Structure 1
């Protein structure tokens, strides 16, 4: 049953992330310094942040705890990229990276690790890395590898993984997302639903929440400019250049409509992080703050 339109979205914990400040890499001269990000995300009225690319924020737990604490912030999750579809040969390298991020994530008191599949074309150069479709064997590597990752992350760090469908990766469209969910253990593997990426790839976030609600463990809030997206699809533009063209936009200017997504998520009856992420790498340093402030006001107007 749909919730009343005026329902307070009290099960959603709203935050933001370095991505909303144009941060995609641990170190890049086009990105704002980490201290400015922390200052401005706090100034915008958010309580929660993600770690972003490992190495962008300080990696010493004591220092990072001090820096976020004095700004009234807390950490909701860390993020890792994985290429588990390539099979057991990549496990040791994957685990070494995951362990670094997971250790810092746990030290910051967070409970989630956002896992993004590797890109099949480079997000900075748009160079084709591998085919966009996986073979049956690669799908098996991906799903069993993700379950192994979930077990090991839980056992060693006490964290749950949430897998992030993402443009230009092998988990992107509704078909791929459903195939992935149907092939993985619900007790181990949950989903980070990014509303912008899912719309970018043709998916319906409300439908996904209503169909696979028990698998939704985390949200990224994002919108897509439908006019720019139409051009991106028509021209086959890779994700990185599409972002530079402004394919991701601030709410409520794009799709999906945010209120029904938030209401559907509230209707699950569980506490969920809902982290604002507006891809806009690269961007002028003065651009993110006013967008973040407007977005936070908009989400409050929705009851979140």
Structure 2
């Protein structure tokens, strides 16, 4: 007789959601993306209660209109997202704040509490052309860290939102070394981390180790996996992130790495409420592909206790 199967832990501190990214949405307006109405219909039908806004302008930007759409599908918004180039210093502040204020206004109006902040790519996000050096100078690191602290303070003071900075492939905040350097010199009262398990693995990091080492700085999770075989090819050839996504480097769980159960359990042990938002990069993709993946992923996460 086989031993009884151990029950999955109850991951009751994690609030599971998904995002437009899981439907192949990278841009506010793109003919290769599904219409926003279809995204909202399918994310709700797949069993998710929480969503992110995605690229600003993809979903309706009028709060009343968007709330009507989310309410009738029993959806709630967990965060908005902004891209920043704060490593360029004070010269970009005004333009940065204009964009952040726009997104933060909608985020707050939708009752969300977080703003996911992604550093700008050092490659062009459509052509993959290298547009600046992949390593920052000492001065640029100082601009990045102090700029994020300034942003965190102003966003909190004016909107009551917490910023969570998202390490991301093909940005200056990517590897374990860069993430540790960033966290070690930034104020935890102003800046915390959105740990994206897929991007961190893509860049060679260990998500469980990061949670165990910097647990008090983990303010938000993106759940994602990478295909190790595709990743090995990407690393060997130096393939840019966009083409790597088209190769299928990001895959649905539980087919890739990191294993998500240990990540979720480590996050639960922090004993704080955390959003855990599914994102599977697959721009561009056929319009009928995302929904069944979203359903399977939600079932898988339930089997993990989430």
CA RMSD of aligned residues (A): 0.7
Measured in 2, the distance between the counterparts of 1:41 and 1:269 equals 27
> Structure 2: 5+ residue runs without aligned partners?
1-5
Q: Residues 209-229 of structure 1, C-alpha deviation per residue, up to 9 Å, x if partnerless?
A: 000000000000000000000
- On the 8 A contact 1:123/1:238 being kept in 2, the answer is no
Which of 36, 45, 53 is the equivalent residue of 2:47?
45
Residue number in structure 2 paired with 1:240 = 242
Q: Does 1:191 align with 2:193?
A: yes
Q: Residues 70-115 of structure 1, C-alpha deviation per residue, up to 9 Å, x if partnerless?
A: 0010000000000000000000000000000000000000000000
Residue number in structure 1 paired with 2:12 = 10
Measured in 1, the distance between the counterparts of 2:225 and 2:250 equals 6
For normalisation by structure 1, the TM-score amounts to 0.98
Shift of 1:122: 1.3
1:41-190 counterparts in 2 under 5 A? 41-190=43-192
- On the 8 A contact 1:112/1:159 being kept in 2, the answer is yes
Measured in 2, the distance between the counterparts of 1:35 and 1:128 equals 35
Q: Does 1:228 align with 2:235?
A: no
For normalisation by structure 2, the TM-score amounts to 0.98
Structure 1 stretches of 4+ moved >6 Å = none
> Structure 1: 5+ residue runs without aligned partners?
none
Aligned positions, number: 301
Measured in 1, the distance between the counterparts of 2:154 and 2:250 equals 34
Which of 18, 21, 24 is the equivalent residue of 1:22?
24
Measured in 2, the distance between the counterparts of 1:122 and 1:214 equals 33
Measured in 2, the distance between the counterparts of 1:122 and 1:165 equals 17
Residue number in structure 2 paired with 1:295 = 297
